Each structure stands twice: as structure tokens, then as C-alpha cells.
Amino acid sequence: MISLNNKHILLGVSGSIAAYKSAELVRRLKDAGADVRVALTKGGAEFITPLTFQALSGNPVHTNLLDTEAEAAMGHIALARWADAILVAPASANFIARLAQGRADDLLGAICLATDSTIAIAPAMNQQMWANTATQENLQQLRQRGILQFGPGEGDQACGETGPGRMLEANQLAAHTANIFETGLLSGRTVLLIAGPTQEAIDPVRYLSNHSSGKMGYAIAQAAAEAGAKVILISGPTALATPPRVERINVRSAQQMFDTVMQHVANSDIFISTAAVADYRPINIAQQKIKKTKDTLTLELQRNPDILAAVAALKNAPFTVGFAAETESLEQHAQEKLERKGVDMIAANLVGEGIAFEADENALLVLTAENKQQLATASKFMLGRQLINIIAKQHHI
């Protein structure tokens, strides 16, 4: 089963008779778990209507660059940022030429220029147009720029000729698109992750906890699995679905999280600590529900173990990555944490009203002893992949 779980795929459709297959492609991408938006060129709209794509994708279809209303809703820059990958299928000979020239005179061209996500094209054209030196030179330029090319296949063509230039089938294109995210950067490695909040019992019905949603940790777990790692996710209580190919162990308290980490850490190559572990827990857990008989109530708390610091201090410690959620002086606090906890890397982010904890987006400052890198505001899934790429690079040094 291919997976595009939580992926934003922008499907560009340009003018070719193969556009009829793009309707099926939207279905296949969605079946794999993707959220799909379609950008239709003027030529594409001659072959298939926006309504078809709107009905299949469940999203409005994007057609115009210079339409103030459309730009205000979700303009070319927003779409370029939204996309985890852009797949242009079909990519006509004309669109390929325009992409090679870097033209931004229509919406799809502008999106392709404005994105830093992977772009893939699925060429579709008459076999003579395909064989033409102009087309082949354009394709070579695109490949040199890192643009992926899926197909074309060979066989009977709508024009009655036979040869190369047929767009690949929808299921093949969906599988190739899923492969964009399967980097293999961590294949053969085991990644141990802690995520979410912890709950520290006060009595049988109450606990101390925090606002952590677990989204950042789960996104990193997914990215690690896509990078080919075996992933063990030790999670506090969250409302999130377990990402595909991730082994999840549920815990509640910091102490349980600590014990479970210690059971698994010896076999891990990388430890990533995204959990918002409660620093303190009540010393005494009341056996029965505490009654509101007094005007004030004092809870006596004791420190929880610091899981990250304990892992970093192990004799054969894995590559350790901690998080620092700060309300101010981000870099200074993160630097101090890197040294005090003896970890290999710290990913720091600002938290506060409406930032980070329950949000779908975040921004990270990634510090190691040698360097620092700022990852701009993006979806937590995008940041998860960027962070896994950095960790993979560092880990192999």
C-alpha cells in the first residue's frame, strides 16, 4: 500500500488529451491519504473542466494568476508554500518549454517558480513532439535542476500514432509521487521518540498536564519512518492517529515514559525528545477523589527525572535530539540547554498564545555544538522532514 498520509499534493494539469487520466489520478492520490489541490492551465481547461477536479479533490480548483479574489483566497505564493510536492500531469510539450524557461505568466508557472518543494512532471504528447530536440533539450535542463520526470510510457497514442509520449497510468503516478517522500536516509537505523504531554495523577480523577498536542513529535516520527528507519514512538495521551509503519507505546506519566525509554534505548541509534514532560509530579496521589472542603489546597510536588539528560548521559548514548520550547531569548536558552543536558542537537521554538503547541505550523532553530540553522515557518510535517534530513546528515558524520 502506498502512503501519502498527511501530504499536500498540488496537481498541475496542462493541455493534453491525457488530462482525462488526471481525474483518476486525483482519486488515487486521495486514496493514498493526500490532500489534493489542482491548478489547471488554460490549455488544461480545454480538455477537462474545473468542476470535475473540484468534485474529486473536494477543494476549489485554481486557474487564474491575475484574479484578485482567487489570489486573496489562496494565491500563488500560498499554494507554492502549501505544497509538499508538485506533480504536473499531464505535462504538455508547451508546459515543459515554459517550465524550462522559468516563465511566470500563468498560475501554474508562477507556483513552480515560487516553490522550494519537489516538482515532478509526467510528460504526455505525440511521439514526434516528444522526440523533437527542443523538447529533449528542455527536459534535460529540467532534470539538471532536480525536477523529477515520471515516464512517459510507450504505446498507442490518441492521435493514432505509436511510440513514446503516453502519460503513465494514475496508479503508477501515485506510487512515484509517494516515493518522493521515501528518502531511505535512515534505512537500517532505529529511532526512538517521545512525544505529547505527560499526565501526573493528583487523585483517581485529576492530573497535572500541559497543552502539548504531540503534533510535532508525530510528524517527526512519520518523517523518520519515511526515511526508512524503524521507529518506536513512546507517546503521552494525544488525540492523534499513529503514523504508518510506526510502533507506538502509550504511557501517561513522566516516570512511565522514563521507564519505557530505558527499556528501548539500548537498541536505538537516534533519540528524539519532543515530549512536554512534566517537570514535577505530586508526591502523594490521593487514593480517593479529593473533596473541596477547604478554601485552599496545597499540592506538594517532586521533580521528575529528566529523560533527555538521562539518555544523553548513558555510556553508549544514541545521537540525542532535544527540544526547547521558550517564551523568550530563544537562542540563548537553547544554547544553554544544549550544553547543560549534554545533547547532540537542540531544536528550539517559541511558544505562547497561539504559537506552536496546538498549532499545525511551527518554526525551528536547530543548534548543534558546531552550527545553527533556522527552519522557516512551515507545516509541522514539512519541518519534521527537514529535521530528519539534518539529523541523518549529522548522524552519518
Of 55, 159, 266, 314, which is the active-site residue? 159
Binding mask of the shown chain, residues 259 to 278, with x at each position contacting ligand C5P by CB under 6 A: --------------x-x-x-
Residue 218 binds ligand C5P (CB under 6 A): no
CB of 217: closest distance to ligand C5P in angstroms?
Answer: 9
Among 80, 86, 232, 308, binds ligand C5P (CB under 6 A): 308
Query: Amino acid letter at 281?
Result: R
Burial bucket for residue 227 (CB in 10 Å: 0-12, 13-18, 19+)? buried
Angle, alpha carbons 141-144-150 (nearest 5°): 85
In the complex with ligand C5P, which residue's Cβ is closer, 124 or 308? 308
Residues touching ligand C5P, count (CB under 6 A): 13
CB of 308: closest distance to ligand C5P in angstroms?
Answer: 3
Q: Taking contact as CB under 6 A, which single stretch among the options 41-49, 133-141, 302-310, 355-363 is the one that binds ligand C5P?
A: 302-310
In the complex with ligand C5P, which residue's Cβ is closer, 106 or 306? 306
In the complex with ligand C5P, which residue's Cβ is closer, 306 or 344? 306
CB of 201: closest distance to ligand C5P in angstroms?
Answer: 16
Residue 323 binds ligand C5P (CB under 6 A): yes
Report the C-alpha gap between 214 and 326 in whole angstroms.
17
Q: Which three cell numbers stand for residue 39?
A: 491548478
Alpha helices in the chain (DSSP H): 19-31, 42-47, 50-57, 68-74, 76-82, 93-101, 107-114, 127-131, 133-144, 170-180, 215-226, 254-264, 307-312, 330-341, 380-396
Residue 48 binds ligand C5P (CB under 6 A): no
CB of 229: closest distance to ligand C5P in angstroms?
Answer: 19
Residue 351 binds ligand C5P (CB under 6 A): no
Among 86, 192, 324, 387, binds ligand C5P (CB under 6 A): 324
Provide the Cα torsion 46, 50, 52, 53; round to 10°.
Answer: 120
Burial bucket for residue 307 (CB in 10 Å: 0-12, 13-18, 19+)? buried
Report the C-alpha gap between 90 and 379 in whole angstroms.
28
Burial bucket for residue 236 (CB in 10 Å: 0-12, 13-18, 19+)? buried
Length of the chain: 397
Residues 128-187 that bind ligand C5P (CB under 6 A): none
Binding mask of the shown chain, residues 221 to 260, with x at each position contacting ligand C5P by CB under 6 A: ---------------------------------x------
Q: How far is CA 372 from CA 224, 364, 390, in A?
A: 21, 10, 11
In the complex with ligand C5P, which residue's Cβ is closer, 94 or 386? 386
Q: How far is CA 47 from CA 23, 42, 106, 117, 185, in A?
A: 11, 9, 17, 27, 40
Q: Taking contact as CB under 6 A, which single stretch among the options 4-12, 241-249, 288-296, 320-328 is the one that binds ligand C5P?
A: 320-328
User: Which has the closest alpha carbon to 319: 348, 347, 346, 343?
Assistant: 343
In the complex with ligand C5P, which residue's Cβ is closer, 129 or 220? 220
- Give catalytic status of residue 112 as yes or no: no
Indicate which residues carry an active-site annotation. Answer: 159
Binding site for ligand C5P (CB under 6 A): 254, 273, 275, 277, 279, 304, 306-308, 322-324, 337
